[in-house]
Each structure stands twice: as structure tokens, then as C-alpha cells.
Structure 1
Amino acid sequence: MKPATRHLTHCSRCRAPIVWCLTTANGRRQPVDFEPTEEGNVAVMQGPDGVLYVRTVTAARPDIRPGEWRAMPHHATCAAPPPRRSSGGQRAAAGAVRPVPWQGRQG
């Protein structure tokens, strides 16, 4: 099965055809490659509300149910992925004291 063309859009970085899905785990948006593939590690289905939903294919749930198709998350296949963000920003050295503005005594 293949998603309907009304769901089709393109990646803003590499221009590859993708569809946006909601994850079944937490309802977050996830870009998925438009073309189904047997090597995919997610299962996509269209809900009764017309929205595409995606779930991860795991060892505990490896079966593809009727109405689902396998696909790849677009983050794994994007030809022009976004730059990686640092995970902590600038961290202070261990044991460092944060500077505090000087306050004069009032007398």
C-alpha cells in the first residue's frame, strides 16, 4: 500500500518526497519517506480521521497489520540533514562559581 498523494510534500532540505505522520507513542510529527520499502523500520497507516500514523516496528511487534505499510523515517535517508545541535550548550567548568554583580553596602 502507498500513501495518498494528498499527503505528499517535499523535504525542505533535500526536496525528496515525504509524508508527515503522527507517532502513535506520543503524537509527535515525524517525516517519513513517501515510497514504501521492505527495509523500513516503521509501519504507517491512515486512520479513520484521514491522518497518517506511524509506529516503530520492533521485535515485540514485527508484524505489519492490514492497512499498514513499511517505510523509512526521513531523518535516516535525508541527503541534506540539518546540522547536529550540541547537547548541552556551554557548560561551566566543574566547581566553577557563577559571577554575581557587585552590590555595595547601603549605610
Structure 2
Amino acid sequence: MKPASHHVIRCRRCQDPIVWCLTTANGRRQPVNAAPDETGNVAVMQGADGVLYVRTITAARPDIKAGEWQATPHFATCAFPPPRRSGGGGQRSTSGVRPVPWQR
């Protein structure tokens, strides 16, 4: 099964055809290659609301059900992937002297 043509757009970086899906795990947006791929590790389906949903194919749920197609996340194949974000998010290292207000 292939996605409907109105879902397919082009990647801004490499111009490959992709579809945007919502993950079933947490509802975040994920770009997926529009072409079905038998070696892909995600399953895509269109919900009753017309939105595409994606789930990871795991050992617990390895089968592709009716209405789903197997695909690959676009981040794995993009020729010009976006720069990786730092996983930090914690405390920044500080160095030097902390500024103090001027006194007269």
C-alpha cells in the first residue's frame, strides 16, 4: 500500500518524497520515506481521521497488519540530514567570575 498523493511532500534538504506521520507512542511528528520499503523498521497507517500514524516494528509486534505499509524513517536515508541536537539540556558549565551590580 502507498500513501495518498495529498500526503506526499518533498524534503526541504534533499528533495526526496516524504510523508509526515504522528508516532503512536507519543504523538510526535516523524518524517517517513513515501515509498514502501520491505526492509524498513516502521509501519505506517492512515487513521480514520485521515492522519498518518507510524509505529516501530518490534519483536513484540513484528507483523504488518491490513491497511499498514512498511517504510523507513527519512532521517536514516536523507542525503543532507539536519545537525544533531545536543542531548545536554542539563546545567551549563560556568567559568569566570559572576557579574555583580555596580555600586556607587
TM-score range, shorter chain: 0.7 to 0.9
The higher radius of gyration belongs to: 1
Q: What is residue 37 of structure 1 aligned with on the other side?
A: 37
Unpaired runs of at least 5, structure 2: none
Corresponding position: 1:52 with 2:52: yes
Q: How many corresponding residue pairs?
A: 103
CA distance 1:55–1:98, change in 2 (3 Å)? farther
Question: Residues of 1 paired with 2:8 and 2:50: CA distance?
Answer: 13
TM-score (norm 1): 0.85
How far the C-alpha of 1:62 sits from its partner, in A, is 0.5
Residues 1:92 and 2:97 aligned together: no
Q: Which residue of 2 aligns with 1:73?
A: 73
Q: CA deviation at 1:102?
A: 4.9
The letter for the 2-side match of 1:99 is R
SS in 1 for 2:18: strand
Superposed CA RMSD: 2.2
Separation of aligned partners in 1, 2:69 and 2:24: 15
What does the per-residue CA deviation read over 1:47-99, in whole Å, with 9 as the maximum and x for residues that have no partner?
01111000000111101111000000000000111122333389426xx6761
The answer for the alignment partner of 1:101 in structure 2 is 100
List runs of 5+ in structure 1 lacking aligned partners: none
Question: What fraction of aligned residue pairs are identical, expressed as a percent?
Answer: 68
Q: Residues 2-41 of structure 1: matches in 2 within 5 Å?
A: 2-41=2-41
TM-score normalised by length of structure 2: 0.87
